[in-house]
Amino acid sequence: MFSRQVAEELRSFETPFYLYDISLLRQTLESAVSVAKKYGYVLHYAIKANYDPRILSVVRDYGLGVDCASGNEIRCALEAGFEPSGIVYAGVGKRDKEIRYAIERQIFAINCESLQELDLINSIAASLDKVQPIGLRINPDIDPKTNKCIDTGQADSKFGIPYEELVSSLDHVRSLKNVKITGMHLHIGSQIRELHVFEYLCEKVNSILAHLGSHGLDFEFIDVGGGLGVNYDFPENEPVPNFASVFAIINSHLKAGGRPVHFEFGRAIVAQCGELITSVLFNKTTATGRKLVIVDASMTELLRPALYGAYHNIENITSASDVKERYSVVGTACESTDVFDESVSLPKTSRGDLLSIKSSGAYGMSMASRYNLHDLPAAVYSDDIVR
């Protein structure tokens, strides 16, 4: 909730822009790190969620490693000062040059997503005279009970190695001389709010560990990925996600046998500290009676609603009206799916008002594009203004 004074101060910045609450980011990291420490858990930040340099420097202050999804993300993490020894790298379609770069930089593990990829990593490592540590990303066939578009752990998903295929190829996996299987990796999806799903994940990991162990394949660490969801409906009620609950579930259900357990949170770290501030350009009512509020942001700044129908809470932070109206808040891009909310109740909203599109710190700026040759949005940090 903005004071009127702060909302008016925001008018001095050109919209649209991302506003980051750095003290909330610190609070979130403090919470994640302090509970993780209790269990000895290792945290990586999924840099795909947001690679703003200021955010990265705060994340680095708290000692997290990084989960990367491309060679450029690895480069970005290294340039931001993260240690290679804290970097993991997943992705179904790693290019040869990205694999070579990861091996040369001596990252903690490449999380490998297919047996064909494992052969390729082996041959590139051989050409560099290296032995590359590998986390095997196993597809556990679990329904994470989230939006289908961000579900990555079911059997027909493109992610991870099908388990039966892995089991039938163990002799081949063991024969590869330039890879060393160090970890088991899983990531079943994002925005997981039904936390019991993590119990199923643990049960799956326990049975895989036992089964592969009986076939002579052991792991030095277990990486259970990210996925912890945030409260998009009522962000003010839950500014810091419930790390304690997810860690407690993993601690009580996972039979890790003393192996370090790693996590790769993206959304849970940065979603709530960011909001997209946008100005109202026009009001228009369609012939069918749909009341549009046309704002100067669009899917080019925040793609999630257009990409997979994601919901973000919207607030008018400058209107003083007591009259509430129902609006469709739409963006400037030349796409009909460029809608932030089909039906939102706001105080009477008109040209020049500022709207805040909440919980947009994760997968907001990092998915921004220059479609329609829009400029990329700027970032403003809470410590640069008074809250």
CB of 337 to ligand PLP, least distance (A): 21
Nearer to ligand PLP, 191 or 313 (CB): 191
When binding is defined by CB under 6 A, the residue of 25, 46, 224, 303 that contacts ligand PLP is 46
Are the C-beta atoms of residues 365 and 273 closer than 8 Å to each other? Answer: no
Cβ 211 to ligand PLP, closest distance in Å?
23
Q: To the nearest whole angstrom, how small is the minimum distance from the Cβ of residue 256 to ligand PLP? A: 18
Q: Which residues, in sequence order, are bridge partners of residue 25?
A: none
Q: Does 304 bind ligand PLP (CB under 6 A)?
A: no
Q: Does 113 bind ligand PLP (CB under 6 A)?
A: no
Return the residue of 183, 227, 305, 377 that touches ligand PLP, per CB under 6 A.
227
Q: How far is the CB of 297 from ligand PLP (least distance, A)?
A: 22
By CB under 6 A, what part of segment 173-202 binds ligand PLP?
Answer: 187, 190
Residues 316 and 351 sit within 8 Å (Cβ to Cβ):
no
Asked if 187 and 152 touch (Cβ cutoff 8 Å), the reply is yes
Question: How many residues bind to ligand PLP according to rule CB under 6 A?
Answer: 15
Which residue in the set 65, 183, 226, 274 belongs to the binding site for ligand PLP (CB under 6 A)? 226
Specify the stretch interacting with ligand PLP by CB under 6 A; choose among 14-22, 117-125, 223-231, 279-287. 223-231
| 94 binds ligand PLP, rule: CB under 6 A | no
> Which span sits near ligand PLP by CB under 6 A: 204-212, 226-234, 332-340, 350-358?
226-234
The residue whose Cβ lies closest to ligand PLP is 226
Q: Is residue 268 at the binding interface for ligand PLP, with CB under 6 A as the rule?
A: yes
Q: Mark 248-267 with x for binding to ligand PLP (rule: CB under 6 A) and - for no binding.
A: ----------------xxxx
Binders of ligand PLP in range 62-81 (CB under 6 A): 67
Which residues contact ligand PLP (rule: CB under 6 A)?
Answer: 46, 49, 67, 90, 187, 190, 225-228, 264-268
